[in-house]
Amino acid sequence: MSALQRHYNAVADLGCIVCRQMNLGPTQAQIHHPWGRKNGNERKVLPLCYTHHQAGVNNKFIVSVHPWTREFEKRYGTQAELLKQVDELLRRVA
Q: How many CB atoms lie within 10 A of CB 87?
A: 13
* pTM of the full structure: 0.94
Q: What is the per-residue pLDDT for 59?
A: 97
When divided into structural domains, the chain yields a total of 1
pLDDT digits (tens, 9 = 90+) for 11-35: 999 999 999 999 998 899 999 999 9
Looking at the DSSP bridge assignments, the partners of residue 32 are 46
The CATH number of whichever domain residue 25 belongs to comes to 3.30.40.190
**CA-to-CA separations, 13 to 7, 69, 71, in angstroms, rounded:** 10, 23, 26
pLDDT digits (tens, 9 = 90+) for 56-69: 999 999 999 999 99
Q: Which domain holds residue 83?
A: 3-93
